[in-house]
Structures are given as C-alpha cells and as structure tokens.
Amino acid sequence: MKGLLQRVRSARVEVGTEVVGAIDQGILVLVGIEPQDTRASADKLLHKLLNYRVFSDADGKMNLSLREVQGGLLLVSQFTLAADTKSGMRPSFSKAAAPAWGAELFDYLLSQARIAHPVVAAGQFGADMQVHLINDGPVTFLLDT
C-alpha cells in the first residue's frame, strides 16, 4: 500500500459540484492499493500517517506529528499510484488492486482512521474527483508499506 503524503494548509475534494471531503491544516494522502495489500498494510500505513513527523516545532524542525498538531487527515484513493511506468510511454495498471478489493481496503483504512483520529475526511472511491490543496512547504513523502 502506498500513501503519497502532502502537508497542506487546507485541502478539499469535489465530486462534480459537491465537496465530499475537506480539511484545514493537516495532511492530504493519496492512497494506492495493490493486490498483495492487506488490512495489516492499512494498519501500518495509518500508524505512520498519524505519527510521521512532518510539522515544524518551535525551532523550525520537522519534529511534530499529525496527532501532535491536531491536524486534519484527508484520504483520497488513487489507483494510478500503483502504475508500472518502467517501460514504454503508457502506464500499465496491472499492479493496482481489483476495484472490489481496493474499495474494501480503502473503506477499512478510512474506518480505522476515524476511530484513531478526530479530524478525518475522504474522497469517494472510484469517482472522478477534483482535488484542491494549498501545499505547505511543499512537503511531500511517498510512504510504502
């Protein structure tokens, strides 16, 4: 399971004209699910998302986690993170999880996040979404379980 973490000042996800998820300061995470991923993969990613130190402390060092700053967590499914780009000029998505398995794992990740953290929002799995963000830094990390 891959999580492309971006520290944001704010972010929102729209499906059509409806805002389906929004946060203020926090992290936007694009989530890529692969066939071998399990609930344990989702648990591991969530633990890292909540505890990874990407926010600045009083000395300006990245030393604070999402939990410590009480920021928002916005999860957005993105199967293109599982693309194979090694050959040719067109990505292959054969390494992405089947839609049913991807949806099940994304829903599990989201439900566990809502149990573990007070401010959680999400995009809509499988939808054509517009993601708006104000990237802070920019600070971006690719986490892989």
What are the catalytic residues? Answer: 78-80
Q: What is the rounded distance in angstroms from the CA atom of residue 29 to the CA atom of residue 129?
A: 14
Angle at 131 between CA 66 and CA 81, to 5 degrees: 80
Q: What is the rounded distance in angstroms from the CA atom of residue 83 to the CA atom of residue 94?
A: 7
Reduce the secondary structure of 51-83 to three states and give it as a string.
HCCCEECCCCCEEECHHHHCCEEEEEECHHHHC
